[in-house]
Amino acid sequence: MKDISEIRSDFPILATKVYGKPLVYLDNGATTQKPLSVINAVNEVLTGYNANIHRGVHAISDRASEEYEKAREKVRGFINAGKREEVIFTSGTTGSINAVAFSFGERFVHRGDEILISCLEHHSNIVPWQMMCERKGARLKIIPINDKGEVIIEEYLKLLSRQVKLVAVTQASNALGTVVPVKKMIESAHSAGIPVLVDGAQGIKHGVTNVADMDCDFYVYSGHKIYGPTGIGVLYGKEKWLTELPPYQGGGDMVENVTFEKTTFNVLPFKFEAGTTNFPGAIGLGAALDYVLSVGRENIRYREQELLEYATQRLSSIPGLRIYGDSASKISTVSFLLEGIHQYDTGMILDKLGIAVRTGTHCAQPVMERFGISGTVRASMCFYNTREEIDILGTGIEKVISMFS
């Protein structure tokens, strides 16, 4: 693996100072920083070949279309999807889930049906299903979690009834860090004839995601969570589903023939890419995936697990600090509270020390409710973070405690 100082120099923002102190960026669950190769790839589009894709007959439009389709191929390879037709570019995880909720709901969900999600979900994997259930007269059912923040598999199996039309579950919890045994859950759902959508927003940058091996029906993620640009995301769907589902948006590029009487739709994947897509973002995402592969996904996973272990030990040694979420398998996220100190106060004081952490519900309010709290402080690390930064966090937390005591 590349040396850590070499890795950090790939990410210009990591040299930033805030309040005169070196930035300690521990908010990677919210968004990740971008390596120069991604910044350069987007810059190159905008300065060298910015032209609308799939439409022009001129040279720079051809080049943009070609690079966009190359990026699709990179996304396909990265998750081991069978075909490029199964890879749709969207605006992000939220965009992808809303697309499936709308299209799948229109075609397959009826009054009295159920959609099954877990208590761990981000609002993005709750609200679109709720909206769809309301439209269709269906019900949302919730798989409970235990005190460690793990999905209770026995309860899940009990909920897999004939009424369930789809299971939508996260690969990893953004709020607690729990890695969810999605492969096992998909196997059980499939044996009951139920398709599964996996929210990969947090899972995509954790180890190797292989949709063929996982056998999920849909897999969604955001570019910005894996060192790529914002405003670009991925919807992977098995071809058989994407063929059957109606488009969720109409417009340019997604059509084959348009008359006022009738419109016929384009082939996959374009049927689901109405209008001008974020092609600079898609090309930037391709560059991000190249970067991740150049560092090595197993290397990244190993390093992040080391950081998780170190941070868990360091923070657990602080009296009055309680960690939420101690699943046996976690991504490198530590969610915690300090006794008698509000999470916002902790976050604001850490900020003044140059430490960026997340505070609040992390868009996962039901998880907070499950633990009877209003929110946590979350430190989410990734492979460009260091043990020294975790030490700075530890010392910062001790300072917060001493200020309040």
Residue numbers annotated as active site: 363
Q: Which CB, 206 or 314, lies closer to ligand PLP?
A: 206
Q: How far is CA 306 from the centre of its chain?
A: 21
Q: Using CB atoms within 10 A of its CB, is residue 226 exposed (0-12), middle (13-18) or buried (19+)? A: buried
Hey, which bits of 186-314 come out as E strands? 196-199, 218-222, 233-237, 255-258, 263-265
Least Å distance between CB 265 and ligand PLP? 25
Query: Nearer to ligand PLP by C-beta: 54 or 370?
Result: 370
Interaction between residue 385 and ligand PLP (CB under 6 A): no
Report the residue number, 93 or 335, with the smaller CB distance to ligand PLP: 93
Q: How far is the CB of 20 from ligand PLP (least distance, A)?
A: 30
Looking at residues 215 to 244 of the shown chain, list those that interact with ligand PLP (rule: CB under 6 A). 222
**Dihedral in degrees, nearest 10, Cα atoms 379, 385, 388, 392:** -30
CB of 298 to ligand PLP, least distance (A): 22
97: helix, strand or coil: helix
Taking a C-beta distance cutoff of 8 angstroms, is the pair 73, 61 a contact? no
**Which range in 5-13, 91-99, 159-167, 310-318 contacts ligand PLP by CB under 6 A?**
91-99
Please report, in angstroms and rounded to a whole number, the separation of the first and last CA atoms in the chain.
Answer: 43
Contact map string, positions 264 to 303, toward ligand PLP, x by CB under 6 A: ----------------------------------------
Contact residues for 5 (Cβ-Cβ < 8 A; gap 6+): none
240 φ, ψ (degrees, to nearest 5): -60, -35
Question: Does 98 contact ligand PLP by CB under 6 A?
Answer: no
Q: Which is nearer to ligand PLP, 199 or 304 (CB)?
A: 199
CA distance 105 to 114: 11
Q: Which amino acid is at 335?
A: S
CB 142, min distance to ligand PLP, A = 16
Nearest approach, Cβ of 132 to ligand PLP (angstroms)? 16
Residues of this chain, 165-204, that bind ligand PLP according to CB under 6 A? 170, 174, 199, 201-202
CB proximity list for 110: less than 8 A, separation 6 or greater: 136, 137, 138
122 touching ligand PLP, by CB under 6 A: yes
Min dist CB 282 to ligand PLP, Å, is 15
Stretch that binds ligand PLP, among 51-59, 90-98, 208-216, 349-357 (CB under 6 A): 90-98
Alpha helices in 56-203 (DSSP H): 59-79, 93-108, 127-136, 153-159, 182-191
Residues that bind ligand PLP (CB under 6 A): 92-94, 122, 124-125, 170, 174, 199, 201-202, 222
